[in-house]
């Protein structure tokens, strides 16, 4: 008999932010799925579990154990067809949420734990979110809670990152869901200097040879903030926080966070980006893959300590 308190599956798993958080709370991951091969490598290096691939395939879904307690998914937001959205009828075919819906319908986990971009709420004039709620509440018979939370306000990590979290409990289990609440705001006491590394980095992170260097030098004067190169201009984040990390960092994207350190102007390292997502980077294993892939993985990730705080409140209900 396992000494684990609960079991969970990790869909659209990325590097395993949900896995880190729930494992720390006594959970056992019994299935993971991630389509990106580089993210699979990082996941395996850190968790010793190789995620299966494309969750839209029936043969992948067939590998999910029949019973588990929590379904976790930081699923990509895709457009929904609302052609048939009348009188509570919802149609999510052709979207990745449909695959989550199928898994829920077959396995009836006690809890659904979803994360997505804040814009999911307003996407397609609110219709996308309406479909998701309708499916969870009316079609699948779950009680749903949701809230947009900012990493800087709820996790004491100086990254301005707003994400929606959706928690749903199986009504058939008669849980006392009044016990569930989202975490309270906490004071942000950490600054970017608690996360940034202060030694000289490899030359590849510095912009000395960039054609934009003169402009960067002209505009970047403050060591207490993080800047962004926005295609043609430099933007200073005057709140002193790290801007929202994105998946296009390091791939020629225009949101690469930049800092002025004692040695020049440089971009954040992948390690610093993961630290801004709340990972214990001293013990995090970075596989031998391109920096651009690691930047993407950090930008796609959940903020791990915030997921852990929400999970603690979920466990108050189901354990």
Tokens 């949900």 -> residue: 18
CB within 8 A of 24, min separation 6: which ones? 308
**Residue 9 — φ and ψ, nearest 5°?**
-115, 155
Do you know the residue count of the chain? 319
First-residue to last-residue Cα distance in the chain: 17
Contact of 227 with 258, CB cutoff 8 Å: yes
CA nearest neighbour of 178 among 145, 140, 146, 154: 145
**Residue 64 — φ and ψ, nearest 5°?**
-75, 130
Q: Which two tokens stand for residue 131?
A: 């479909």
User: Active site residue: 29, 72, 77, 242, which one?
Assistant: 77
Distance CA(243)–CA(237), nearest Å, equals 7
Contact of 297 with 14, CB cutoff 8 Å: yes
Distance CA(297)–CA(15), nearest Å, equals 7
Tokens 């959940």 -> residue: 302
**242 part of the active site:** no
**Residue 228 — φ and ψ, nearest 5°?**
-130, 140
Which residues carry out catalysis?
Answer: 77
């Amino acid at each position: 008999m396992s000494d684990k308190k609960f079991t969970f599956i990790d869909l659209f798993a990325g590097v395993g932010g949900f896995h880190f958080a729930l494992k720390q709370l006594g959970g056992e991951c019994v299935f993971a799925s991630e389509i990106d091969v580089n993210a699979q490598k990082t996941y395996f290096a850190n968790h010793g579990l190789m995620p299966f691939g494309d969750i839209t395939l029936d043969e992948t879904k067939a590998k999910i154990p029949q019973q588990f307690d929590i379904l976790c998914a930081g699923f990509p937001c895709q457009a929904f067809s609302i052609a048939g959205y009348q009188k509570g009828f919802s149609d999510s075919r052709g979207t990745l949420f449909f695959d989550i819906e199928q898994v829920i319908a077959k396995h009836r986990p006690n809890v659904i734990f979803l994360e997505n971009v804040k814009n999911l709420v307003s996407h397609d004039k609110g219709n996308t979110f309406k479909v998701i709620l309708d499916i969870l509440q009316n079609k699948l018979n779950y009680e749903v809670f949701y809230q947009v939370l900012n990493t800087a306000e709820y996790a004491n990590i100086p990254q301005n990152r707003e994400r929606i979290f959706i928690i749903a409990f199986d009504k058939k289990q008669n849980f006392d869901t009044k016990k569930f609440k989202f975490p309270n705001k906490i004071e942000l006491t950490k600054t970017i200097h608690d996360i940034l590394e202060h030694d000289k980095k490899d030359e590849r992170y510095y912009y000395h040879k960039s054609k934009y260097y003169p402009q960067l030098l002209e505009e970047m004067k403050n060591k207490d903030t993080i800047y962004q190169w926005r295609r043609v201009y430099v933007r200073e984040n005057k709140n002193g926080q790290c801007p929202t990390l994105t998946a296009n960092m390091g791939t020629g994207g225009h949101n690469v966070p930049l800092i002025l350190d004692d040695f020049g102007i440089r971009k954040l390292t992948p390690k610093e980006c993961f630290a801004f997502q709340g990972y214990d980077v001293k013990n995090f294993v970075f596989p031998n893959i391109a920096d651009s892939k690691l930047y993407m993985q950090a930008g796609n990730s959940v903020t791990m300590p915030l997921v852990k705080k929400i999970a603690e409140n979920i466990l108050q209900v189901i354990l």
